[in-house]
Amino acid sequence: MTLRARLIPVLLLAASSAVPLTAQGSRPWANASMSPDARAAAVAAQMTRDEKLLLVFGQFGTDFPSKNFKAAAEARPGSAGYIPGIPRLGIPARWETDAGVGVATQGSAEKKRERTSLPSGLATTASWDPDMAYRGGAMIGDEARRSGFNVMLAGGVDLMRDPRNGRNFEYGGEDPLLAGVMVGEQIRGIQSNAIISTVKHYAINDQETDRDTGNSIIDPAAARVSDLLAFQFAIERGSPGSVMCSYNKVNGTHACENRFLLTDVLRRDWKWPGYVMSDWGAVHSTAPAANAGLEQESGSVFDKELYFGAPLKAAVERGEVSEARLTEMATRILRSMFAHGLFGRPVAEAKIDMAGHAQVTRADAEAGAVLLRNEGALLPLSPSVKRIAVIGGHADKGVLAGGGSSLVYPEGGNAVPGLEPKTWPGPVMYHPSAPLAAIKRLAPGATVRFASGDDPAEAARLAADSDVAIVFATQWAGEAFDVSLTLPTNQDALIEAVARANPRTAVVLETGGPVLTPWAGRVGAIMEAWFPGTAGGEAIANLLFGRVSPSGRLPATFPASVDQLPRPEVPHPGDTRYPEGATVGYKWYDARKLEPAFPFGHGLSYTRFGYGGLTASAGNGTVTARFRVSNTGARDGAAVPQVYVAGAGWEAPKRLGGWSKVQLKPGESREVSVTIDPRLLATWNEARREWRIAGGTYQVMLAASARDIQQTTTVRLPARTLPVGWRPSR
């Protein structure tokens, strides 16, 4: 018997026990003037128990031969999930697609969907541009809708506690404000297409090693001002229809049956009205999960056994799960479906503007690339450069993508097929946007030659015979594994050899997160391009030749050595304790007085900026910083002035309080104001469940990075408490 056959009795029972709606009157919930809550309650009141059970049970959308699973005929082949509709009540099906960079294809589907890929989530966050995040989300949400999906499993906001986490490229970096704002805007963009987006992976999900059973042990108060605050900001900003709970345990209890996370924090404290779906394979129980706050078992074939469906029905019949709780589960799902337009705008396959969408992702890649070093103004490349060596990174073929469930298959297929691993979490994918070809187009008068980099001596000879050498260094990362901070396949030695042969060497990094750069002082320039997406080759070339001035800033610290990390040992199975507590990322480096290779917020430009005139005022219970930004150079460019705040008794010497991205022409100045969320000036009291702002003097710092403080002023604040559910008005 196939797993699909095991589900049939539940589905048939739901159909056979349904009372025709004509016997109960019309559908009042069709009235769009009613609130989503009222409409959901009206539908739920008409549902049978079996219909509710159908609504909370998520199937995988793709055949899974090794588990003898055949997907439902109505599912979208190669998709992440499918939940049947209930035609009697006009409830549409939910078709779910991964993930945060675009419409992915899962499993061994014969035909891969060729879709547009955004740069990695970390790259988008590195733009420090909320509007860019929104536009990217709107674009991939449009492709999801036009691919027949109405639920998109994006975006990821887990804080980067360990730069070796294999999924860091999907997330928003190390600061809760930056991550929450940027990911929240992407979610808002996705949902502008009348589809549901999720926020994930909730919570404290900071490594892939032992991800199914690992136990994240953290003080709840520390979590409130770090990892949970990132989720809180993202939820407030994006209003996602769903939260996806993670694989790991949190303080001894699996996240998908963790009452503190799912009920106490999400529902009681944050008053979030949506539904919780499990990650695929993250459910470990029936009644404990349902009673703790899980509404949907997702991709049930991935769980060790079925927990919802027939087992949940039996649990309700035994009284282990109340009928009221089952009704609440169904109502929360319906509420999100109404709130985000699933009832009013059915999805269907339609033509996609692939060329237009490529321009969206190209702009994203350009905005998120970070110029880490540029000695002697090596970049942008001068028109006088006549001999260019391009070395390594399969730059003659394409640009690297991250692996796992988020992988988007590009038009034209894999530019470098056959690399290992070929199967999950692979294949290793290169989008066919070759930097080499793009460089040649922008340097028609130059001789541009390529070396694979497999032979460092050959690469060095080519570099020595060139005016400038550009080394592409790559590190693949993906779901279900963690990475080293050292570039693989001896690429450090390659860079050293090329730099010795030609000091006019620029290194372009295509990585999922921070890496060690022991050669940094011996190369002229370093640009972090991350995983740059569908049009990454063109974006990199535009940046190298100055058609676009780099404006990205680091969303995560680049350590000088592994020894600087809070847990220098490799990610490990079992319990993970956090000596840093809430002191994540740059806060750890500040508190321990460690000098990183490149600090959080760092990024250079092809022009120069001046900062001054900082003032800070307190009013209406918050702090506003005002200052002036000037372009003192000779090129157009975008500054990213950052405002940090410092107070007594905090987990770290300072916190990011806000920022602005300011586009300026040469000689132009602009007055900027940044309002600081009062929770960023507070400590958390877990016993009383409230934010406390101590009365006294606070420092307000205007900065170009976490280590480049331009000006400091002070402001006095009265003592104040904020209730657990406080949020700013927008």
pLDDT at residue 15 in the model: 41
Give the model's confidence band at 109: pLDDT under 50 very low, under 70 low, under 90 confident, else very high: low
Q: Report helix, strand or coil for 533.
A: coil
220 by DSSP, 3-state: which? helix
Q: Which of 598, 407, 587, 446 is nearest to 509 (CA)?
A: 598
User: How many angstroms separate the CA atoms of 473 and 606, rounded?
Assistant: 22
Does 315 score more than 90 pLDDT? yes
What is d(CA 525, CA 521) in angstroms, rounded to the nearest whole number? 9
pLDDT given at position 25: 53
- Cα angle at 199 between 194 and 204, to 5 degrees? 175
Instruction: Output the DSSP codes for 16-72.
Output: HTPPPGGGT---GGG-TTS-HHHHHHHHHHT--HHHHHHHTBPEEES-BGGGTB---
Torsion (CA) 481, 484, 485, 489 in degrees, nearest 10: -120
Residue 429 vs residues 3, 19, 423, 540, 542: alpha-carbon distances, Å: 31, 50, 11, 18, 22
Buried b (16+ CB within 10 A) or exposed e, 198-234: bbbbbbbbbbbbbbeebbbebebbbbbbbbbbbbbbb
- Which percentage of the chain shows pLDDT scores above 90? 93
For 607-723, give the CATH class: mainly beta
Same fold, 3-339 and 607-723: no
The answer, yes or no, to whether residue 17 has pLDDT greater than 80, is no
CA 235, CA 157: separation in Å to the nearest integer? 10
Greater confidence (578 vs 107) lies with 578
- Identify whether the C-beta of residue 151 lies closer than 8 Å to the C-beta of residue 242: yes
Give me the pLDDT at residue 479, please. Answer: 97
Q: Give residue 8's pLDDT.
A: 41
Collect all residues with Cβ–Cβ distance below 8 Å to 36 and sequence separation of at least 6: 273, 335, 336, 338, 339
pLDDT in tens, 503-523: 999 999 999 999 999 999 999
Q: What share of the chain is helix, strand, coil (3-state, %, to 5)?
A: 30, 25, 45
- Domain 3-339 in CATH 2.40.37.10: no
pLDDT value of position 501: 98
Pick the CATH number of 361-590 from 2.60.370.10, 3.10.129.10, 3.40.50.1700, 1.20.58.1000: 3.40.50.1700
- Which letter, b or e, does each residue of 699-713 get, where b requires 16 or more Cβ atoms within 10 Å of its Cβ? bbbbbbbbbebbeee
Residue 90: which residues within 8 A CB-CB, separation 6 or more? Answer: 27, 29, 30, 343
- Inform me whether the pLDDT recorded for 13 exceeds 80: no
Q: Who's near 343: CB < 8 A, 6+ residues apart?
A: 29, 30, 39, 90, 91, 92, 337
Question: Tens digit of pLDDT for each residue in 173-197?
Answer: 999 999 999 999 999 999 999 999 9
Question: Cis ω on the peptide bond leading into residue 380 (within 30° of 0)?
Answer: yes
Q: Reply yes or no on whether the pLDDT at 99 is more than 90.
A: no
Q: Which residues contact 20 (CB under 8 A, 6 or more apart)?
A: 88
Statement: residue 21 has pLDDT above 60: no
Q: Name residues whose C-beta falls within 8 Å of residue 279's C-beta, 6 or more positions apart in sequence.
A: 200, 201, 244, 245, 246, 247, 256, 298
On average, the pLDDT of the chain sits at 95
Token pair listed for 629: 């930004």
Q: What percent of the chain has pLDDT over 70?
A: 96
Helix (H, G, I), strand (E, B) or coil at 130: helix
Residue ranges of the domains in the chain?
A: 3-339, 361-590, 607-723
Q: How many residues does the chain have?
A: 730
Residue 186 backbone phi and psi in degrees, to 5: -60, -45
Give dist(CA 146, CA 165) in Å, integer: 32
Rounded to the nearest 5°, which phi and psi values hold at 263?
A: -110, -55
H or E element, residue 360? helix 354-368
Alpha helix positions (H), 212-322: 220-224, 227-238, 259, 287-292, 310-317
pLDDT tens readout for residues 231-270: 999 999 999 999 999 999 999 999 999 999 999 999 999 9
383 band by pLDDT with thresholds 50, 70 and 90:
confident
**What per-residue confidence (pLDDT) applies to 123?**
98
Per-residue confidence (pLDDT) for residue 1, from 0 to 100: 41
Of the candidates 219, 211, 199, 213, which has an alpha carbon nearest to the alpha carbon of residue 157? 199
Question: Contact 311/286 with Cβ under 8 angstroms?
Answer: yes
The one-character DSSP state at 265 is: I
Residue 3: its pLDDT value, please? 47
CB atoms within 10 A of CB 608: 15
Query: What dihedral do alpha carbons 188, 193, 199, 201 form, nearest 10°?
Result: -140
